[in-house]
Amino acid sequence: MALYEHIFMSRPDVTSQQVEALIEQYKTVIEGGGGKIIKQEYWGVKSLAYRIRKNRKAHFALLNLDTPHAAVAEMERQMRLSEDVIRFLTVRVDAHEDGPSIMMQKRDDRRDREDRFGDRGYGGGGGGGFRDRGDRGDRGPRREREVEADDARIATSDHKGTEP
């Protein structure tokens, strides 16, 4: 059997008890397909980065699964049919993390984790933040040459101002 992490979001107007009922419903589908749920977490109502089906918030839940693909496919089919589920994502993993997920850890615990791994920043590869592009070649001096050339042309031209 394969290991999966499955996260789904449900509408904000359903209650947390209804979300727990959805989790139990999908748990029976997984167990009926010959799999098992290793860990389940209810993350609560979170704000979304953008509106999904006219919703700005959603209930989030995580399921760590050890199940065959057919059971995951059936669970996803039922989620597509459900009006309460607005989005879901299933990812196959090599191993599940021990302990609570990053969303369930306390804020102080997350800061400790950041201290251990350092600031990875944007662009990956150690440095943090956007990299300085360094010298831009002859971009600066060329511009100065163009300005000097324009000044020289203006000084040597026969341009005479006319008065009205």
Tell me, letter by letter, the H, E, C secondary structure of the chain: CEEEEEEEEECCCCCHHHHHHHHHHHHHHHHHCCCEEEEEEEEEEEEEEEEECCEEEEEEEEEEEEECHHHHHHHHHHHHHCCCEEEEEEEEECCCCCCCCCCCCCHHHHHHHHHHHCCCCCCCCCCCCCCCCCCCCCHHHHHHHHHHHHHHHHHHCCCCCCCC
CATH number belonging to the domain at 2-94, selected among 3.40.50.9100, 3.40.640.10, 3.40.50.2300, 3.30.70.60: 3.30.70.60
Query: What residues does each domain of the chain span?
Result: 2-94
Quick: pLDDT tens for 16-63: 899 999 999 999 999 999 999 999 999 989 999 999 999 999 999 999
The separation between CA 86 and the C-alpha centre of its own chain, rounded to angstroms, equals 17
For residue 21, give the nearest of 5, 52, 42, 51 by alpha carbon: 42
Quick: pLDDT tens for 92-149: 999 988 888 888 887 666 566 656 655 555 555 555 555 555 655 555 555 666 767 7
Quick: pLDDT tens for 58-97: 999 999 999 999 999 999 999 999 999 999 999 999 998 8
Other CB atoms within a 10 A radius of the CB of residue 134 amount to 6
Token pair 């989030």 is at which residue?
60
The structure's pTM equals 0.63
Is the pLDDT at 163 greater than 60? The verdict is no
